[in-house]
Structure 1
Amino acid sequence: MMMLIQMRGLFHLFKESYLTLWGPSETMDNMTAYTVVFVANGILGWIEEWLKRGMCESAETMSTLLSMHGML
């Protein structure tokens, strides 16, 4: 499904939904909001690049790579 979203140029819709769920909220203090949006956009960039490169690695491998580099 994600490949189809990427191929159709609709990744921005996924990004909007993701940030609504996992992004900063108005109740957060500034520093927390900045940190949350920074991390959320990093994850989105990771996913988008993975899709662009054809998802050669499994989701499990990607999760492991994130963990190995302290990003999960």
Structure 2
Amino acid sequence: LVFFQEKKKLWKKLRTTNVIEGLFKELRRRTRPMSIFVNVASCERIIFALFNKYNKKWKEHRYVVIH
């Protein structure tokens, strides 16, 4: 596995960081209590707001570049 070729101190970050899965998990967590949306536009607003929030958050963080 390529995972084991990286420095040991990066292993935890590599194992636990799956940005897409985490984002969709958060989206499900936020939309499930609403259970029903009035229309498609209301659902799209929630999704956009969440994705926009995380996009701004990620811009502020430095990430390790792995080659």
Provide closer, same or farther for how the CA distance between residues 38 and 31 of structure 1 changes in structure 2, counting only shifts above 3 A: same
The answer for the alignment partner of 1:40 in structure 2 is 50
Give unpaired runs (5+ residues) of structure 1. Answer: 55-72
Q: TM-score, normalising length from structure 2?
A: 0.51
- Alignment counterpart, residue 21 of structure 1, candidates 17, 24, 29: 29
Aligned residues: 48
Shift of 1:50: 2.3
Is 1:19–1:40's contact at 8 Å kept on the other side of the alignment? yes
1:12-32 C-alpha deviation (Å, 9 max, x unpaired): 121111111124866102121
Q: TM-score, normalising length from structure 1?
A: 0.48
Question: Which aligned segments of 4 or more residues in structure 1 are displaced greater than 6 angstroms?
Answer: none
Give unpaired runs (5+ residues) of structure 2. Answer: 1-9
Provide closer, same or farther for how the CA distance between residues 50 and 22 of structure 1 changes in structure 2, counting only shifts above 3 A: farther
Answer with 1 or 2: which has the greater Rg.
Answer: 2
Structure with more relative contact order (C-alpha pairs < 8 Å, separation 6 or more): 1
The alignment yields a C-alpha RMSD, in angstroms, of: 2.6
